[in-house]
Amino acid sequence: MAVVGPYQYVWSSLRSPVARHLGVDAAVLSTVFTLFVVFQAGSQFPVGWWRDRHGPRGICALAAFLAGGGYVALAYANTVWQVYLAYSLGAVGVGIVYTVAVNTALKWFPDRRGLTSGVGTMAFAAGPAALVPIVRTITGPAAPDGAYVSLLRAIGIGIFVVVLAGSLVIRDPPDGWLDGRNGESSLAEGGRQYTWRGMLHTWQFWLMYAMFVAVSGSGLMLTEKIVDYADHLGLAAMVATLAATLLPLSSAVGRLVLGEAADRFDPMRTMASSFVLCGLGLFAVVHFGIRGTPAVFVTAVVVATFFWSPKYTLFPTVVAEYYGTEHSSANYALLYSGKIWGGVLGGTVTGLLVTSLGWNRTFLLGGALAVVAGIAALALRPPEDAMPDDAASATGDGPNESEV
């Protein structure tokens, strides 16, 4: 998880150097981030379905070639379409790693879902933090072209080696491994085990899907545009670098802290508080950016990110609690597909809004979406009834999903 995180968290620092290398305006590459989100999130449902049936190892080995090869290909891309292709293929590899890592953790630690998914997603955000200042230093305007190619190639090789090594050792817990352990087996089963078809028939899923899109759009806008927004405000380059560096660190800590909080307190109220505070943080980013107070501006970025990023911990926790762990890979991957629309909203749509509404109003709109999602979380409650095929599957008295 740590080594594939640069695809999401380092792109804001790579976009201008890549555009300079290609001899095009940076705005031409705005769609790259959207493509990453679409392929990273869109790949997870078929990957999750496959992973639940065939285990994590083979699909994870494929991810090593895709995610590692994506960065190596990016180093040698000479046209915009080659950048699109390299980043999209790499994004599929990232999606595989993300699905395998999060859901393997949920299967091994059913009693600490928030904490374990928090640790995994924390690595995804924290891993790239050290790369941001390195990338901004090596790929500066005065840097030679060779340094740019060498950096991206080294990152790609590192991704390949680490993910391939992980694919050789990762595995699921054996059947019945919790039997007789102080009742933990029943906890792992979580009652009825919903298939993705049954989950789609619950209103809770669709409410969470809308929330996921709204919060994704807000946070991905901040992630993808923070450097450009700081430049627009006339803040010093050091401020933009500091904000871009602290953003993934804050994201990582937020996932861990609120993941643990979700295990100790009501996860729905934790979710509601988190999203509302994310929205307020985005309001503060705009307010203190306009006032030209760099220290408080960076602090506001940290706060907004700290409370936005735990959605990647809180949602898988709630999905496992509501729908069980047996089909958790496919179930959460289906919810996670909302990131596709969040990426379109946070990337391409907000890019258009910036030209029509301006930077400040666009960021305020993002904050409002997060607040609305937080309020909506208060309506969540466990589903009361499963679909007939899920109920039968849970008791072992009916056809399994493949027979329905």
Average pLDDT over residues 369-385: 90
> For tokens 């990273």, what's the residue?
40
CA distance 170 to 160: 15
Which pLDDT does position 120 carry in this prediction?
Answer: 79
Average pLDDT over residues 79-97: 93
CA distance 15 to 21: 10
Question: If you count them, how many residues does the chain have?
Answer: 404
Q: Which of 250, 9, 271, 248 is nearest to 114 (CA)?
A: 271
Comparing 185-189, 279-283, 289-293, 377-381, which segment has the lowest mean pLDDT?
185-189
Share of the chain above pLDDT 70, in %: 89
Neighbours of 201 (CB within 10 A): 14
* CB distance 29 to 87 below 8 Å: no
Q: Which of 333, 394, 357 is nearest to 40 (CA)?
A: 333
Q: What digits encode the pLDDT tens for the residues 147-189?
A: 778 888 999 999 999 999 999 999 888 877 766 554 444 444 4
Neighbours of 283 (CB within 10 A): 18
| Average pLDDT value for the chain | 83
Average pLDDT over residues 184-196: 60
Q: How confident is the model at residue 395 (pLDDT cuts 50, 70, 90)?
A: very low
- Indicate the DSSP class of residue 2: T
Neighbours of 231 (CB within 10 A): 14
Which pLDDT does position 45 carry in this prediction?
Answer: 84
Which pLDDT does position 385 carry in this prediction?
Answer: 58
Most confident among 6-10, 41-45, 196-200, 249-253 (mean pLDDT): 196-200
Predicted TM-score (pTM) above 0.85:
no
> For tokens 């993934």, what's the residue?
248
What DSSP string describes 360-371? Answer: HHHHHHHHHHHH
Q: What digits encode the pLDDT tens for the residues 222-269?
A: 887 888 888 888 888 888 888 887 887 888 888 888 877 877 888 888
Q: Which CATH number fits domain 6-173+203-382: 3.40.50.620, 1.10.300.10, 1.20.1250.20, 2.60.40.1120?
A: 1.20.1250.20
Average pLDDT over residues 327-343: 84
pLDDT greater at residue 29 or residue 87: 87
> For tokens 């989950």, what's the residue?
199
* CB distance 122 to 255 below 8 Å: yes
395: which 2 tokens? 């008791």
- Using the Cα atoms of residue 232, residue 233, residue 236 and residue 242 in order, give the sign of their dihedral: negative
* CB distance 72 to 84 below 8 Å: no
Average pLDDT over residues 284-299: 91
Q: Is the pLDDT of residue 314 over 70?
A: yes
* CB distance 319 to 260 below 8 Å: no
Question: 222 to each of 28, 39, 284, how far by Cα in Å?
Answer: 19, 20, 13
Which pLDDT does position 246 carry in this prediction?
Answer: 84
147: which 2 tokens? 């340094």
Which residues fall within 8 angstroms of residue 81, CB to CB, at 6 or more apart?
A: none
Q: Which of 371, 313, 328 is nearest to 121 (CA)?
A: 313
* CB distance 218 to 353 below 8 Å: no
Which residues fall within 8 angstroms of residue 113, CB to CB, at 6 or more apart?
A: 106, 262, 263, 316, 317, 320, 321
Q: Which of 277, 237, 238, 236 is nearest to 254 (CA)?
A: 277
Q: How confident is the model at residue 391 (pLDDT cuts 50, 70, 90)?
A: very low
What DSSP string describes 291-346? Answer: HT-HHHHHHHHHHHHHHHTTHHHHHHHHHHHHH-STTHHHHHHHHHTHHHHHHHII
Query: How do the domains of the chain map onto residue ranges?
Result: 6-173+203-382
**Angle formed by the axes of helices 267-291 and 294-308, to 10°?**
160
Q: Which of 255, 247, 211 is nearest to 230 (CA)?
A: 247
